[in-house]
Each structure stands twice: as structure tokens, then as C-alpha cells.
Amino acid sequence: MTAPLVEVEQLQTYFPIRRGLLRRVVGNVQAVDGVSFSIARGKTLGLVGESGCGKTTVGRSILRLVEPTGGRVAFDGLAVRDLRGRDLRNLRRRMQVVFQDPYGSLNPRMTVRALIEEGLIIHGLGSARERVDRVVRAMERTGLSRQALERYPHEFSGGQRQRIAIARALVLEPDFLVLDEPISALDLSIQAQVVNLLIELREQLGLTYLFISHDLSVVEHVSDEVAVMYLGRIVERATAAALYAQPLHPYTLALFSAVPTVDPARRRRRIVLVGDVPSPSNPPRGCRFHPRCPLAESVCREVDPPMVSLPEHAVHCHVAARELARSGGNASVAAATIAALLADRATPPTATLSPG
């Protein structure tokens, strides 16, 4: 088995809430609370969930673009949170990020050459001639021509700008990329091109990805493993094949039911969740999903569900744990039972029209 390149254990990232004239801390927004996972070298972990669940904060905490509150992050055996100064800067050459918005992540006052070359200058890599060669090589890998060197970001389309952002990340020859919603700001016609480019780069360069997205169909296409987040925590994690074939957590089932598909064999009955996502500054007791879960029981309201592990699958859910125990650990049977229960309790009522 391939050794993990990235290991995250009980990661916490809280943002203080300050009030009053003295700006005293009166609470915390628990953006990330106890997240654990690992990513093997050359593999992709997809991180999915609703907006505000903490996906982006996880990626930025790993890179220390925001400082974690607690937990452990290891990269190739190095304790990331312990590094300072030059050691941290050297590590960041191996860990890069592609942001969601190619319109906002590129400085409009800088040429394409300056944007991509900037990291090489900061890290003191190569002579001026060598830097240009590396910039051109990174551009060619992402499908950009040398003629774009002296042009500015506003002269390019959204897809081309995202290719520039990818080239900027690749020029330092990293091992690990955090891809934070890299296609959500692009037109549908361009999204497939960028996704295919990322897959090709991973295979050619042996890159490792954390692919953050809310687009479940894209995540299935690019990921080896998928983790589902809700309110700062991972509620289910599995290989992509296992998760999409037999989701066990009610929240995962609800997400999948909202994905449109033209394949009747993959079409799921729509599960509509009621209520709003609780505030991350005051999360509920027990299972954080229980206020919106159609299958919630009394134990869900009081006890935080432990992790139930299967080969290639892990889930935090009391109902899933019970059904897995009843089925003798058969995930397919348990998933079918949970889906049937949800369909009975969470099917939206049929709309009716009043006469006149």
C-alpha cells in the first residue's frame, strides 16, 4: 500500500467571536472540528459538502494559510504546524493551491510571465533565463502558448485564467495541490477541459490532490477517495466506488439525491432536508446532523456517533451502525435499508393545484 503523503489528525480551526469595546472573545466559530484523513502519494481525495461546511478552511489549514487551532498535520513525515521561517517556506514549494476564482486570484497589474515567475523569484530558484524556461514549460503543460507571456489576465477567458493559475502552482514543481473549487466559476463548456487537464497532470507528474468541490459528479470522476463534510466534521469517507454505490450516512444520501442524472438506473428519489444548517458557533449536541435528519433518534440527540469502519468505508452515524450490525457488516444491504427508510420519511409531498 502506498504510504500517505498528507496525514491530518483531529484538525481544528476555530475563529474567535469578539464583542464589546474591549473586543473580548465570547465564543468561537468552529469551522473545522476534529477532521482526520490521509492522502496517499499520487492519489486524489475529494472533499464535498454544502457551502459553509468547512471544506475550504480544511485546505487552507493544511497549507497554514490560516493557522489551525489544534490537531496534527503531517506532510511527507514533517509536522507542518511545527515549522517556522525558512523551513516552512521550503515546504510551501511542495504544497501549492489553485483558488476558486480565476478572476480574483490573479493580480490584474501583472503580466502572465510575472504572475507565474513570482514564486521562482521568492524562492530564489534559477537565473533569469532558467526562470523563463520554467515558466514556458509550466505554460505548455497547461495548454498555454509562449505568446501569452507578456499579456495581462483581463485579456483571457475564464478557462484560460484558471490554466494560468494552475501553471503558477506547477512552476515550483510541487508534490501536493489543494484544488479549491477549481472549476465552479467556469462555464460548463470549459469545466470538462480543466478537469481533464488536472487528471492528465496528476498522471504525468505524479501529483497528489485535495479536490474541494460541491459538484458530486465531478468529484466522482477525479477522486480515488471521497470524504463528506457537514458542519465542520467528516461524516462519511470511502473510496469513490464504494461511496457512490452504497452511501450510508443520511446526509450523503440527501446530497446524492439532489444530483441530476439522465441515467434511469442511477436516478434516486429526491430527499428534501427541512430546516437550516445550525450555526458553527453553537453546534448541536450529539450528532450534528440530527436537527435535519429524518431518521434521527433519541441517541442521535445526545451522543456523538462513533466511527464505524469497514474495508474502504467509514461512517459516523448511529442509524448506519445499527443497520450494519443487523446486516452482518454488509454495506450494500445496510445502504439499501437506510435509503428505503429515508424515502419513506423524507419524500416531498406532491404539489397540487387548487381549482380556479
Q: Per-residue pLDDT tens for 44-55?
A: 999 999 888 999
pLDDT mean over 94-117: 93
> Hey, what domains does the chain have and what are their CATH numbers?
1-94+174-244 (3.40.50.300), 104-173 (no CATH), 246-346 (no CATH)
| pLDDT score for 263 | 62
Confidence of residue 356 (pLDDT cuts 50, 70, 90): very low
| pLDDT score for 346 | 63
* Separation of alpha carbons 249 and 242, rounded Å: 13
Q: Is the pLDDT of residue 281 over 90?
A: yes
Q: What is the DSSP letter of 188?
A: H
| pLDDT score for 348 | 53
pLDDT mean over 220-225: 94
Give the DSSP per-residue string, 117-176. Answer: HHHHHHTT-S-HHHHHHHHHHHHHHTT--GGGTT--GGGS-HHHHHHHHHHHHHTT--SE
Q: Is the pLDDT of residue 158 over 80?
A: yes
| pLDDT score for 103 | 86
* Separation of alpha carbons 6 and 40, rounded Å: 7
* Cβ atoms of residues 236 and 316 within 8 Å: yes
Q: Is the pLDDT of residue 353 over 50?
A: no
* Separation of alpha carbons 289 and 278, rounded Å: 9
pLDDT mean over 172-199: 91
Task: Compare 345 and 80 and report the one with higher pLDDT.
Answer: 80
The model's pTM is: 0.91
